[in-house]
Structure 1
Amino acid sequence: MQYLVIAYDYDDALERRLKVRDEHLKSTKELISKGNIINAGALIEDDKMVGSTLFVDFENEEELDAWLENEPYVKEKVWNYEEIQIVPVKLLPKN
C-alpha cells in the first residue's frame, strides 16, 4: 500500500540531523532500490528545511511502522515521531 509520510523536525533537530544524515541517506537509498521509498524530499518553510516528505510503498501498516521505528531520523529524534502524518495514497503509474 502506498502512503504519503509528512515528518516535521523538532525545532532543535539540526545538529542531530547532521550527525545521522549519512546513516539516514544510506537506509533511504536501500529502500529506494527495493521499491519501498518511491520519492522523498525536504519540507521548506521560509527558506529553511523543517522536515521531510516521502511517498512510500509497504505491504501493510505493520511494515510501515517497523520502518519508521528503525528510521535514523526517528531514532535520533530529528523527526517529531508523535507528529508524523501518514496518509494512504494511490500514485499514478510511472508509465
Structure 2
Amino acid sequence: MQYLVIAYDNEGALEKRIEVRDAHVEGTRKLMAEGKIIDAGALTEEDQMVGSTLFVDFENDDEINNWLENEPYVVNGVWNMDEFQIVPVKLLPKN
C-alpha cells in the first residue's frame, strides 16, 4: 500500500541530521531500488532542512515498522515522532 510520510525534525536536530544523513540516504536509496520508497525529499524552511517527506509502498504495517525501527533519522532522534504522519495515498502511475 502506498503512503505519504511526513516527518518533521526535533527542535535543534539539524546537526544530528547532518551527522547521520549519509546512512539515511544510503538506506533510502536501497529501499528505492527495491521499490519500497518511491520518492523522497527534505522539507525546508528558509533554505534549511526541517524534516522529510517520502512516498513509500509497503505491503503491511510490519514492513513499515521494520523500516522505522532501522531508519537512522528515527534511531538517532532526528525525526519528531510526535509529529510523524503516515497517510495512505494512491499515486498516479509513472507511465
Per the normalisation by structure 2, the TM-score is 0.95
Q: Which residue identity is paired with 2:53?
A: T
State how far apart, in whole Å, the 2-side matches of 1:47 and 1:18 are.
Answer: 14
Percent of paired sites with the same residue? 67
* 1:29 partnered with 2:58: no
Structure 1: 4+ residue segments shifted above 3 A: none
Residue 53 of structure 1: aligned partner: 53
State how far apart, in whole Å, the 1-side matches of 2:11 and 2:50 are.
Answer: 8
RMSD: 0.9
| CA apart distance, 1:70 | 1.0
Q: Please state which structure has a larger fraction of its residues in helix.
A: 1
State how far apart, in whole Å, the 2-side matches of 1:34 and 1:73 are.
Answer: 20
Per the normalisation by structure 1, the TM-score is 0.95
Runs of 5+ in structure 1 lacking a partner?
A: none
Aligned residue-pair number: 95
Runs of 5+ in structure 2 lacking a partner?
A: none
